[in-house]
Amino acid sequence: MNFFQNLALKYSHNMMEKSLRQGFNVELLKTPKKKVPQDGKQYMLYMHIPFCHTFCPYCSFHKYYYNENLAKSYFENLRNEIQIIKDQGFDFTSLYVGGGTTLINEEELLKTLELCKKLFSIKEISCESDPNHIKAEKLTLFKGLIDRLSCGIQSFDNDILKKISRYNKFGSSEELQEKISKALGILPIFSIDLIFNFPGQTKDQLLNDLQIAKNLAPQQITTYPLMKSNLTKDNIAKSLGVSFKDNEFEFYQIIREYLKSYTQNNSWSFSLEKNSLNDEYVSSHHEYLGIGSGAFSFLEGELLINAFNLNDYARLIKEERNANIAKAYFNKKEIIKYVFLTEIFAGKIEINKFNKTLNCNLEKDLFVELLGLKLSKAIYKENDSFYSTDFGKYLFVVLMKDFYTGMDLVRAVFRDDKRLKNKNFIDVMKENVDPLNSIDMEFKSGQ
């Protein structure tokens, strides 16, 4: 990278932290806020399944250890929440199911997906899974329902699998390859998800991961940089050690070169054929409604946060109310920057369409930001569109990673059930902000 590109990376990283710090004001709600669909808008439905059999050291997502009875009760509440949002007038064309482990109880998930297809105009469903839930006989149950399944393999290197506590949980490299080969072809799209830039990971290990994934020939390969937040860095260091050299940029270049025969859907997703159905749903769906414990909704410039505690979530649903307990609101410029990031992450922004959708003037409202991106050769303009360059694709990987690791603080606060129940919200924030040194958010007691 040249001087301007290094400067752009540092500036963009700092601006992301500043945006989250200044533009992210969280208001705790005394009563859940009613969600109202707007005429002419398309919405995506996000569903969260917060259960795992085992926890991985680098994962900061909202989850509970799996209990069959607890999970059955949760799915029942989830289906009741689906009926609530149907009665509020929402409709959806796309559904993304995240977790946790989404296929952890196939029977309950099957009933839930069938209900979604019955109530809404859903044309595509994307789900996540771990390697223990991709048996052919189980996946066959979802033919005609799940259109894309992403499987978190993370690495095919046995040494890395042992260090991140996945070898005994999900099998050796050879066992993983066998599981995947039997799972391919059952559902329309299967994605192998890999993580790169583990501490101590070598080029040969990365290339071996890519070679194995490519030989298996899934419809998609998704490559995420290791995301280290202040919540997970100690666990990562304990499991993998500390790296004194950051290979992220070099490894990202290797990945793009190795997978150049694939079509790049976005900055970290590669497909045998171009497909809008991929891992990063926010790139193609600006507004989405989240259901389930700990789910987020982004509607009309507000981020609504569902109850994390399973008992609180169940109570709200049984009262036939929305499950959101807080909201974060953004000013107009922060919304424009957020949507810009999610769209350029997919490689292209149509300026007139963008302006019409957000009722803005992109080139005027983000003049300084766009100038910096142009000077660093991260984007270029052609006709009525902005496109990301090779360097830009990496820059937007870094920004998206920063965004997701920044959101860890939200999870850290809202899943701390005891302190939240005591209503000491300011104290909760101080306890989380100071050691995390990540984002400070303004808490208010809302109506």
CA–CA distance, 357 with 169 (Å, rounded to integer)? 45
CA–CA distance, 74 with 69 (Å, rounded to integer)? 9
Q: Are residues 165 and 18 located together in one domain of the fold?
A: no
State residue 423's pLDDT score.
Answer: 44
Angle at CA of residue 304, ends 96 and 195, nearest 5°: 45
Q: Are residues 136 and 183 located together in one domain of the fold?
A: yes
Its sign, for the CA torsion 279, 284, 286, 289, is: negative
**Assigned domain for 328 exists:** no
The percentage of the chain sitting over the pLDDT mark of 70, rounded to a whole number, equals 82
**Assigned domain for 112 exists:** yes
CB 368 within 8 A of CB 15: no
**Assigned domain for 321 exists:** no
**Each residue of 18-59: pLDDT tens digit?**
666 665 667 888 888 888 898 888 899 999 999 988 777 667
Residue 432 has pLDDT above 70, yes or no: no
CB 283 within 8 A of CB 342: yes
Q: Are residues 371 and 346 located together in one domain of the fold?
A: yes
Give the model's confidence band at 435: pLDDT under 50 very low, under 70 low, under 90 confident, else very high. Answer: very low
**Assigned domain for 303 exists:** no
Q: Which residues does residue 65 pair with via DSSP β-bridges, in sequence order? A: 52
Q: Are residues 175 and 196 located together in one domain of the fold?
A: yes
> Hey, is 388 helix, strand or coil?
strand
**Each residue of 337-373: pLDDT tens digit?**
989 998 999 899 999 999 998 999 999 999 999 998 9
Q: Are residues 13 and 64 located together in one domain of the fold?
A: no
Residue 419 has pLDDT above 60, yes or no: no
CA–CA distance, 194 with 218 (Å, rounded to integer)? 13
Q: Are residues 195 and 268 located together in one domain of the fold?
A: yes
* Residue in the block written with tokens 């009525």: 384
Interhelix angle 367-375/3-23, rounded to 10 degrees, is: 150
Q: Are residues 93 and 235 located together in one domain of the fold?
A: yes
**Each residue of 196-228: pLDDT tens digit?**
999 999 999 999 999 999 999 999 999 999 887
388 Cβ contact list (under 8 Å, min separation 6): 267, 344, 345, 347, 348, 378, 379, 395, 396
- Dump strand ranges (E) for 375-422: 379-382, 385-388
CB 106 within 8 A of CB 49: no
CATH of residue 271's domain is 3.80.30.20
- Phi then psi for 273, rounded to 5 degrees? -135, 150
Give 77 or 375, the one with higher predicted confidence.
Answer: 77
Full residue range of the structural domain in which residue 419 is found: 1-24+335-433
Structural domain count, the chain:
2
> Hey, is 416 helix, strand or coil?
coil
Average pLDDT of the chain is 85
Q: Are residues 209 and 340 located together in one domain of the fold?
A: no
**Assigned domain for 320 exists:** no
Please measure the distance between the N-terminal and C-terminal CA atoms of the chain and give it in whole angstroms: 49
State residue 241's pLDDT score.
Answer: 63
Last residue of a domain, one of 283, 299, 317: 283
**Assigned domain for 438 exists:** no
Q: Are residues 229 and 143 located together in one domain of the fold?
A: yes
Last residue of a domain, one of 253, 283, 313: 283
**Each residue of 258-296: pLDDT tens digit?**
999 999 989 999 998 766 555 556 666 778 999 999 999
